[in-house]
Amino acid sequence: MQYHELTIGSAKKLLFDRKISSFDLTSALLDRIETYDDKIGAFITVDKDAALKQAKKADQDILNNKVSGLTGVPIALKDLLCTKGLKTTCASKILDNFIPQYDGTVVRKLKENGAIIIGKTNMDEFAMGSSTENSSYHVTTNPWNNAYVPGGSSGGSAAAVAARFCCAAIGTDTGGSIRQPASHCGVVGLKPTYGRVSRFGLVSYASSLDQIGPITKDVTDAAILLNIISGKDQMDSTSASIDVPDFTKAFEQFEKGSLKGMTAGIPKEYMSVEGIDPEVEIVFNGAKKILKELGVEIKEISLPHTDYVVAAYYIIAPCEASSNLARFDGVKYGFRDMACDDLIDMYKKTKSKGFGPEVKRRILIGTYALSAGYYDAYYGRASQVRTLIMEDFSTAFKACDFILSPVAPAPAFKIGENMDDPLTMYLTDIFTLSANMAGIPGISIPAGYSSKGLPIGIQMMANRFDEISLLRAGYGFEKTIQLDKKFPDF
């Protein structure tokens, strides 16, 4: 038996039937990390001793018939989720030795459901990036080809799942940071509706855009994890007071290989975006064909304000980052530059040395846009555009159940290729940003490969709190396409 091939669903069955032990499963994955992660760099911290201790306890719980939803299943966490007693760095020098005194709500829920926290994954510093090249620790590579990026900012989580270092991982999505790396690494990435999952214990980048979600080997596992991490949280005023359905029920609606009765909207504005790679178009057209064969009606729709999404996002997100990251001043916690003359000098040197180039760039943009005389011209106007984007989607979902699009305009690019061109890097998120601006759910599902063997995904987006439609359509598509090669060969 190849332990690393197990999904959450298959691992749970074997564990609960006592055909394998959590200790053996966790040990096998830790051995795989030790063997292969030197060339991939998916992890910042591997918590070997604690993981094995948790696994032993899980095996005892199973023997005593005290099982929960994830008892004994190894999960990786993006390194900006607070973990009690375990370093949380946000891939930044400024938090290099920060050890939280509490677990974030999602982490707590995973632990309460018996999950084994195997380690913390690499990311773009403070989640600012699209390639995981902005980490202050190391660059993460794509498991399919180590010369290419895995995407970002949750590139470490996506790479860890694709490399089969864990059964699943948790990422965060501010502008596509779950869906884009999932597409580049050939795994499933789900960004829930804003408010579906508590953000308490998440180190914020842009508070009105950030959302925690699962990165998994298949759609079924995404539903399983979403069941566990969703729900109202008194510690997070932005979490929604709305019932959490059993997301796995979505699969019961996919009967006899059909999705009849569903309508997919294709935004005409997305199809006119310049620079879409021809291989992405081929995969996207193939996905449309499969959905048609499954009974989905394909309809052209319009999202009129698409041209303004990138510009509005890159005002709102840096403004919120400027506010959120002001707390990292060297006084309360984190890195402090001691070679200073006075308090102001300490602030300047601490932030200059503690933050990387991309974080500094976004803080400067945000601070400028929020400064006296510019707030209304920039942040105020971007917020108005955001309202128009939300209205576009509300109108669109009156005509369709979900929106179908590419995830990114091109497959994964080579490491270093776009590092000196931030505008090109920002445009790689053109298809994913809208979901964050509108607060709607989106999912990336593997749909094919480029001529270089790199994965290409498709994106589905649904109305607020309608993850069921995404999971139903995604499950049907996944079961039908049956990709020949699901994971890299190692």
78 carries an active-site annotation: yes
- Same-domain check for residues 50 and 164: yes
Find tokens 């000098």 and name the residue: 345
Do the domain assignments include residue 394? no
Do the domain assignments include residue 286? no
Write the CATH number for 55: 3.90.1300.10
State which amino acid sits at residue 283: V
- Same-domain check for residues 241 and 360: no
Q: What span, in angstroms and rounded, lies between the C-alpha atoms of 405 and 342?
A: 53
- Same-domain check for residues 47 and 126: yes
Do the domain assignments include residue 275? no
- Same-domain check for residues 458 and 370: no
Do the domain assignments include residue 267? no
Strands 297-301 and 263-267: parallel
- Same-domain check for residues 351 and 432: no
Residue 311's domain spans which residues?
A: 307-383
Do the domain assignments include residue 274? no
Identify the domain boundary among 354, 383, 412: 383
Query: What is residue 256's predicted lDDT score, i.e. its pLDDT?
Result: 63
Q: What span, in angstroms and rounded, lies between the C-alpha atoms of 320 and 210?
A: 11
pTM recorded for the entire structure = 0.97
Which tens digits make up the pLDDT trace of 193-249?
A: 999 999 999 999 999 999 999 999 999 999 999 999 999 999 999 999 999 999 999
- Same-domain check for residues 407 and 370: no
* Structure token pair of residue 219: 């759609």
Q: Annotated catalytic residue: which of 21, 177, 230, 469?
A: 177
- Same-domain check for residues 344 and 249: no
Q: What span, in angstroms and rounded, lies between the C-alpha atoms of 34 and 91?
A: 20
Q: What span, in angstroms and rounded, lies between the C-alpha atoms of 40 and 37?
A: 5
- Same-domain check for residues 237 and 375: no
Identify the domain boundary among 348, 383, 418: 383
Do the domain assignments include residue 253? yes
Nearest to 459 by CA among 490, 431, 419, 418: 431
Identify the domain boundary among 352, 383, 414: 383
3-class DSSP assignment, residue 301: strand
* Structure token pair of residue 439: 């607060």
- Same-domain check for residues 335 and 438: no
The one-digit pLDDT tens for each residue of the chain (490 residues) are 699 999 999 999 999 999 999 999 999 999 999 999 999 999 999 999 999 999 999 999 999 999 999 999 999 999 999 999 999 999 999 999 899 999 999 999 999 999 999 999 999 999 999 999 999 999 999 999 999 999 999 999 999 999 999 999 999 999 999 999 999 999 999 999 999 999 999 999 999 999 999 999 999 999 999 999 999 999 999 999 999 999 999 998 777 678 999 999 999 999 888 889 999 999 999 999 999 999 999 999 999 999 999 999 999 999 999 999 999 988 888 888 888 888 888 888 899 999 999 999 999 999 999 998 888 899 999 999 999 999 999 999 999 999 999 999 999 999 999 888 887 888 889 999 999 999 999 999 999 999 999 999 999 999 999 999 999 999 999 999 989 888 999 9
- Same-domain check for residues 131 and 199: yes
Contact 329, 363 (CB under 8 A): no
Strands 263-267 and 402-406: parallel
Q: Annotated catalytic residue: which of 12, 21, 78, 154?
A: 78
- Same-domain check for residues 122 and 232: yes
Do the domain assignments include residue 276? no
Count of domains forming the chain: 2
* Structure token pair of residue 208: 């009105």
In 33-150 the beta strands, taken as DSSP E runs, fall at 43-46, 74-78, 116-121
136 carries an active-site annotation: no
Contact 92, 356 (CB under 8 A): yes
Query: What is residue 258's predicted lDDT score, i.e. its pLDDT?
Result: 83
Do the domain assignments include residue 354? yes
Q: Annotated catalytic residue: which of 22, 153, 434, 469?
A: 153
- Same-domain check for residues 149 and 252: yes
